Structure 1
Amino acid sequence: MPYEARALVLARLGPRAGDLVWDIGSGCGSVAVECVRLGAAVVAVEQTAGGVERIRGHAAAQGAEVRVVHGAAPTVLSHLSDPDGVFVGGGGRDLRAIVAAAARRARRAVVVAPSALEEVAPVRAALAACGFAVDGVLLQSQRLLPLPDGSSSLAPSAPVLLVWGTR
């Protein structure tokens, strides 16, 4: 996820000292690490062994203490303490169930990065059903690319869908 999108995820989650954040489908753990830097305790949930090791390695390299749970959401969520905020990265066939399980327990915010536009409506519905005010954006950014003649061009990055619910 480009850092521009990660900044909006963090702004919507609002992690702070004393908070607990779940990072479900944590990927490399970048959101988890940033939440720790802002003072929150973080539980990263990842279903693949390789993903678990990647998160642990990234967190260790950044000096961030992230608890990593190896397992599939929403099943493993029942064993976790209620969070203040939840980030759900990616999509998949269980996305609506994962978002619904997270939304039932989150105190303040749930932010989701669906991987496809078709996933937006079910995510919005799951958040709204749990009493969240729902909003979202499609973020597209372009990075400056220096050219040999000293001028610049723009290099587009992949668009990122974000949907969030707040109480």
Structure 2
Amino acid sequence: MRSDNQPAAAPAGGWALPEGRYAHRDSMITKSEVRALVVARLRPRLGRLIWDVGAGSGSVGIECALLGAAVLAVEQDAASAATIRANATAHAVTVRVVVGRAPAALAGLPEPDAVFVGGGGVDVLPAVMARRPERVVLTLAALDRVAPAVGLLRAAGYAVEGSQLSAARLADLPGGSIRLAATNPVVVLTGERQ
């Protein structure tokens, strides 16, 4: 039997899985390159509770669950909530889904160790930070939201790190050539409580 000081083993199927391993709508999913960093920043493991707020397809929360964390996904859209449940079942993990709009849907939830804010953005941050998780990880596509988010995190006593991620994936061209197809750049902010 493993002690609590030993890290959980990586899931057999890996992590930062391709988007095709998840049901999602209109490519509304955290891309695998971004998900790899987000999951690393959340530091999921056995005994930790991770909130996935604005969960969409649930890919971030599911990969945290694959690494042993308890996961609570908050999603306002009922169809997306059903997709999260189906994705969790497909990956043989348990993810508790709360259907509701954050920040109101966060009231009464158990205290998180770390929170990923993928949907809801800056508007959700005050309610998340009021719960004082150790870490808050936020992804933003709109640059005008970065400075306000950093300001809110710092004002709440979080040390903030940030990175802009962009990836270019191999794509076939006619005639057997290969090109690079860019994905949309995303800013990943990590706040660590001081």
Q: Which has the higher contact order (CA 8 A, sep 6+)?
A: 1
Q: Deviations over 1:22-79 (max 9, x none)?
A: 0000010000100001110000000111111111111111111000001111112121
Q: Distance in 2 between matches of 1:105 and 1:124?
A: 17
Superposed displacement of residue 104, structure 1: 2.4
CA-based RMSD: 1.5
- Matching residue of 1:143: 169
- Other-structure match for 2:178: 152
Listed as ranges, the gaps of 5+ residues in structure 2 are: 1-29
Whether 1:33 and 2:62 are equivalent positions in the alignment is yes
Instruction: Give me the TM-score of the superposition, normalised by structure 2.
Output: 0.79
Q: Say whether 1:4 aligns with 2:33.
A: yes
Q: C-alpha displacement at 1:117, in angstroms? A: 1.0
Using the size of structure 1 for normalisation, the TM-score is 0.91
Q: What percentage of residue pairs aligned between the two structures are identical?
A: 49
CA distance in 1 between partners of 2:77 and 2:171 (Å)? 35
**1:40-55 pair list within 5 angstroms:** 40-55=69-84
**TM superposition shift of 1:118:** 1.1
1:133 matched to 2:162: no
More off after superposition, 52-61 vs 114-123: 114-123
Q: Detail structure 1 runs of 4+ shifted over 3 Å in the superposition.
A: 146-151
Range that drifts further, 23-32 or 123-132: 123-132
Give the match's secondary structure for 2:94.
Answer: coil
Distance 2:141 2:180 in 1: 24
Superposed, 1:85-100 pairs within 5 Å as: 85-91=114-120, 95-100=121-126
SS in structure 2 opposite 1:161?
strand
Relative to total residues, which structure has the larger helix share, 1 or 2?
A: 1
Q: Partners in 2 of 1:97 and 1:90 — Cα distance? A: 10
For 1:67, the equivalent position in structure 2 comes to: 96
List runs of 5+ in structure 1 lacking aligned partners. none
Amino acid at match of 2:179: S
* Matched length: 164
Distance 2:113 2:100 in 1: 21
